[in-house]
């Protein structure tokens, strides 16, 4: 049977067929759909974790117990889980353990373009890379077999294009392989990484890496497609798809296992071609290692080290090499260009009033990762820094520690509910412990919204839809020792502004404002009315435009001010009333609907 599956759907299928019994993840684009799809299969316990390190540690426990286990995350999530990756490289596994790393070349939804093949090299563990959905299914089984055969965690690296592109997968019914598992056998010399044990395990890790390289050279996971031997290309992942089209007449060594490299296979391939070309997205991992083997090759002189590859990018590199390639497909240019559409908060977003207030109060804002990151853009321009998950609170504390948090220019941290539970709690504890005086705004929309409405410990609902235990963020904050905790309705703009003023006025101790309001996509969203504009009262003052709502747009010019009046699209408006609250002329009202 044939199915059209995205890479993420295929990975979920491959994990199920490989006999995975436990899977854990924290949502993050482009990896989110892996666990969402895996949760649909019987026989697999799938759980959202509060962060990636917790996800990997839980998967480690499951594999120690003898089950095949999987932890899934986006590339920067592996930074959070990296300490766990490194101890697992030394302890090895019992049941198979695969770590999905969904990288994001082009930084489509991330703060960087890091290439996580480097983690495999750094941690001395194998890395497998599929080039399409079929390989995403097939290579998962190989990854688990490899994990158990060599007693190692395996990194399974995809990219945005592999994760989200769809291709045909051949599925022959329900072929799930049930693994009875091996009972945990207590062995502190293997599983307890005190310094003495770690020193003894390190030579074993190095020997394992050597044996993995020998396995890779003999495995069908890497294959040669012979053509003209004037040029030989080494490539992998989605870059292979572009390479086989642009270099269609030449020989290609496609790597399915990108670390450790198959040294013998590469030497054999290189010895039979006149010129060796490396086509790899992002870092020159292959190129560096192949040159270290003493094999002449070219790569990053012709292909960029930044941004994601495309057919056009690989074609340009091939032309620089002097390789005749297919002409680019001509496209029609239109006289009228479609206007750009910058990202914006959804109509009815509970974060809107907070950013409107922050901009109005002219405070400095240390931002974080989530929907609210959009607050850095016009019309709010209400964020000064955005780093990684949980960074906002530490940055605000540092500003306070050096005296930058002043009456004239106060600093606040803005963080979401899911992000606070992911990485914000230690930072808040640090402020309390060191007697800081920062103000933290927790935007609680009762969901992990940016990645597509995933549950988290703050919602109290599990991935399977069953009721878990809801973590009360207000109780957590108070339990950490914060005395001044303010809870405000996120849709009440005047109250939000007043509360933020009150919090930043406290200069001798930390304060926390929790702005509560459900994401507009949740079924319990409170809106009941659609707002309209009184054309007579509106004079085009433009204050309502500053709330940045896509439902509000410019209409005809006002005769007295020569400024555009506001119009509200009834198909987009959900009646959050923020625009109504900021209008100084009462020109916006609730319609009778």
Cα 577 to Cα 493: distance, rounded to the nearest angstrom: 9
In sequence order, the 6+-apart residues with CB closer than 8 A to the CB of 438 are 393, 396, 397, 399, 400, 405, 411, 412, 413, 431, 510, 511
Q: pLDDT value at position 179?
A: 85
Which residue(s) pair with 238 in the sheet?
Answer: none
What architecture is the 2-182+189-218 domain classified under in CATH? 3-Layer(aba) Sandwich (3.40)
Cα 61 to Cα 264: distance, rounded to the nearest angstrom: 36
Q: pLDDT value at position 176?
A: 87
Q: Please say whether the beta carbons of 127 and 120 come within 8 A.
A: yes
**Which CATH class for the 531-590 domain?**
alpha beta
Q: What is the pTM of this model?
A: 0.93
Strand 511-516 vs strand 439-444: parallel, antiparallel, or unpaired? parallel
Q: Please say whether the beta carbons of 350 and 525 come within 8 A.
A: no
Q: pLDDT value at position 559?
A: 86
Q: pLDDT value at position 193?
A: 96
Instruction: For residue 483, give the DSSP letter.
Output: -
Residue 448 φ then ψ, to 5°? -90, 95
Give the alpha-carbon dihedral of 18, 22, 28, 34, to 10 degrees. Answer: 30
Cα 108 to Cα 129: distance, rounded to the nearest angstrom: 20
User: Residue 35, SS3?
Assistant: helix
Half-sphere exposure of 537 (CA within 13 A, CB side): 11
Q: Where does the chain hold its CATH 3.40.50.920 domain(s)?
A: 223-320
Q: Which two tokens stand for residue 276?
A: 């060796």
| pLDDT tens track, the chain, 593 positions | 899 999 999 999 999 999 999 999 999 999 999 999 999 999 999 999 999 999 999 999 999 999 999 999 999 999 999 999 999 999 999 999 999 999 999 999 999 999 999 999 999 999 999 999 999 999 999 999 999 999 999 999 999 999 999 999 998 766 888 888 889 999 999 999 999 999 999 999 999 999 999 999 999 999 999 999 999 999 999 999 999 999 999 999 999 999 999 999 999 999 999 999 999 999 999 999 999 999 999 999 999 999 999 999 999 999 999 886 667 666 677 777 777 888 899 999 999 999 999 999 999 999 999 999 999 999 999 999 999 999 999 999 999 999 888 888 899 999 999 999 999 999 999 999 999 999 999 999 999 998 988 999 999 999 988 999 999 999 999 999 999 999 999 999 999 999 999 999 999 999 999 999 999 999 888 767 888 999 999 999 999 999 999 999 999 998 889 999 999 999 999 999 999 999 999 999 988 65
Q: pLDDT value at position 470?
A: 94
Q: Where does the chain hold its CATH 3.40.50.970 domain(s)?
A: 2-182+189-218, 352-516
Q: pLDDT value at position 525?
A: 84
150: nearest Cα among 229, 96, 110:
96
Q: Where does the chain hold its CATH 3.30.70.20 domain(s)?
A: 531-590
A 10 A CB-CB count for 165 gives 16
Q: Which two tokens stand for residue 540?
A: 């085009």
CATH T-level topology, domain 352-516: Rossmann fold (3.40.50)
User: Residue 589, SS3?
Assistant: strand
Please state which of the four CATH numbers 3.40.50.300, 3.40.50.920, 1.10.3720.10, 3.40.440.10 is assigned to the domain occupying 223-320: 3.40.50.920
């Amino acid at each position: 049977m044939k199915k059209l599956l995205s890479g993420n759907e295929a990975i979920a299928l491959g994990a199920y067929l490989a006999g995975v019994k436990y899977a854990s993840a924290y949502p993050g684009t482009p990896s989110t759909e892996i666990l969402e799809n895996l949760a649909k299969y019987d026989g697999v316990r799938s759980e959202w974790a509060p962060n990636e390190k917790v996800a990997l540690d839980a998967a480690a426990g499951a594999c120690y117990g003898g089950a095949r286990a999987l932890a899934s995350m986006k590339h920067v999530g592996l930074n959070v889980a990296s300490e766990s990756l490194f101890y697992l490289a030394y302890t090895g596994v019992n049941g198979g353990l695969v770590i999905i790393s969904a990288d994001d070349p082009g930084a489509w939804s991330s703060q960087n373009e890091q290439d996580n093949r480097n983690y495999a090299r750094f941690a001395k563990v194998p890395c497998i890379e599929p080039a399409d959905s079929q390989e995403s299914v097939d290579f998962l089984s190989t990854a688990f077999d490899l994990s158990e055969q060599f007693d190692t965690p395996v990194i399974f690296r995809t990219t945005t294009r592999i994760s989200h592109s769809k291709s045909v997968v051949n599925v022959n019914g329900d072929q799930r392989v049930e693994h009875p598992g091996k009972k945990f056998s207590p062995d502190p010399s293997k599983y307890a990484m005190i310094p003495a044990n770690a020193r003894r395990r390190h030579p074993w890790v190095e020997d394992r890496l050597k044996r993995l390289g020998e396995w890779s050279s003999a495995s069908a996971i890497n294959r040669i497609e012979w053509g003209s031997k004037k040029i030989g290309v080494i490539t992998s992942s989605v870059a292979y798809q572009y390479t086989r089209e642009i270099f269609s007449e030449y020989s290609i060594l496609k790597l399915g296992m990108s670390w450790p490299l198959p040294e013998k296979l590469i030497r054999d391939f290189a010895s039979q071609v006149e010129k060796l070309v490396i086509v790899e997205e992002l870092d020159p991992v292959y190129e560096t290692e192949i040159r270290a083997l003493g094999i002449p090759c070219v790569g990053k002189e012709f292909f960029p080290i930044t941004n994601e590859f495309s057919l056009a990018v690989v074609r340009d590199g091939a032309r620089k090499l002097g390789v005749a390639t297919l002409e680019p497909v001509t496209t029609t240019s239109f006289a009228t260009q479609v206007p750009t559409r910058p990202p914006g908060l959804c109509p009815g977003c509970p974060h809107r009033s907070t950013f409107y207030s922050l901009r109005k109060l002219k405070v400095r804002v240390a931002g974080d990762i989530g929907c609210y990151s959009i607050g850095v853009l016009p019309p709010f321009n209400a964020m000064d820094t955005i780093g990684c998950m949980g960074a906002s609170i530490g940055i605000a504390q540092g500003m306070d520690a050096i005296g930058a948090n002043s009456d004239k220019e106060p600093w606040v941290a803005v963080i979401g509910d899911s992000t606070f539970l992911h990485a914000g709690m230690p930072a808040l504890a640090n402020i309390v412990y060191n007697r800081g005086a920062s103000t933290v705004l927790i935007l609680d929309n009762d969901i992990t919204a940016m990645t597509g409405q995933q549950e988290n410990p703050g919602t109290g609902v599990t991935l399977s839809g069953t009721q878990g235990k809801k973590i009360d963020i207000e109780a957590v904050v108070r339990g950490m020792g914060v005395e001044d905790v303010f809870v405000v309705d996120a849709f009440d703009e005047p109250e939000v502004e007043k509360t933020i003023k009150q919090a930043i006025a406290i200069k001798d101790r930390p304060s926390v404002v929790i702005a509560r309001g459900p994401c507009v996509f949740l079924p319990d969203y409170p809106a009941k009315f659609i707002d309209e504009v009184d054309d007579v009262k509106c004079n085009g003052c433009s204050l309502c435009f500053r709330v940045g709502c896509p439902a509000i747009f410019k209409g005809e010019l006002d005769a007295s001010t020569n400024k555009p009046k506001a119009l509200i699209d009834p198909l987009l408006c959900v009646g959050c009333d923020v625009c109504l609250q900021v209008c100084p002329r009462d020109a916006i009202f609730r319609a009778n609907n």
